[in-house]
Amino acid sequence: FRDGMMRFWRSYRPLTFSEGAVRGTTPKYVIYGLMGLALEAMDNPDWPNHLSTPEIELATSYAINELNGFPSWLPALCKRNRDVVAKILLDEIDAELERGDATSENCHVLNTVSWHAEWLWNDIAVNLLNRIGKPPFNTSVFQNILTIIQGSSIEDGVIANHISSILRNEGSHSI
């Protein structure tokens, strides 16, 4: 069973939310893949160092589908290749924010990053800061974005100047 699950995650590619995965459900094949990844991570603490870039991308796609936060192995995977993991998660966040109905319920990845992934904040904070002046979203989404930005290494003065510039140039926004 164990070996089968560890092989399985490499042979199935789960959809991400931006590709049409249904929110609030986890298909059985995604569960099998997540089990395989968890077993591999427990079996070999050095496992991320043996993955190719496509395997890192695939594992990150599985992580996005976890319902309750991110899997415990994702920080180690991110440490192995920050750029790949950060880009995939940021692309998902961008897709969530672009949908036009950006609420905390519809922004699963943003919400999860805000609550469970401080280890990623420095990698995506600048992108989120630049996103603040774009289409409006509700207060809870804005709070998640600010949590990430303020918790990152971006200096408070830079954040304040950027937001002041947006408000001066475009007027106040609905948040």
Q: What is the pLDDT of residues 113-145, one digit of tens each?
A: 999 999 999 999 999 998 887 766 678 888 999
Q: What is the pLDDT of residue 3?
A: 87
What average pLDDT is seen over the chain? 89
Which residues neighbour 158 within 8 Å (Cβ) at sequence distance 6 or greater?
none
Higher pLDDT, 67 or 153: 153
Instruction: Please name the residue ranges forming H helices in the chain.
Output: 2-11, 28-43, 53-64, 74-80, 82-98, 108-116, 121-131, 139-151, 156-170
Q: Yes or no: say if 162 and 129 are a contact pair by the CB < 8 Å rule.
A: yes
Residue 55 and residue 166: Cα distance in Å, rounded?
39
Q: What is the pLDDT of residue 130?
A: 87
**pLDDT tier at 170 (50, 70, 90 boundaries)?**
low
DSSP annotation of 35 reads: H
Residue 150 and residue 156: Cα distance in Å, rounded?
7
**pLDDT tier at 165 (50, 70, 90 boundaries)?**
confident
Supply the pTM of this predicted model. 0.88
Q: What is the pLDDT of residues 89-107, one digit of tens each?
A: 999 999 988 876 666 677 8
Residue 93 and residue 51: Cα distance in Å, rounded?
24
Exposure of 94 in the CB half-sphere (CA atoms within 13 A):
14
Q: Token pair of 120, please?
A: 């990623």
Q: What is the pLDDT of residue 102?
A: 67
Q: What is the pLDDT of residues 29-71, one digit of tens each?
A: 999 999 999 999 999 989 999 999 999 999 999 999 998 899 9
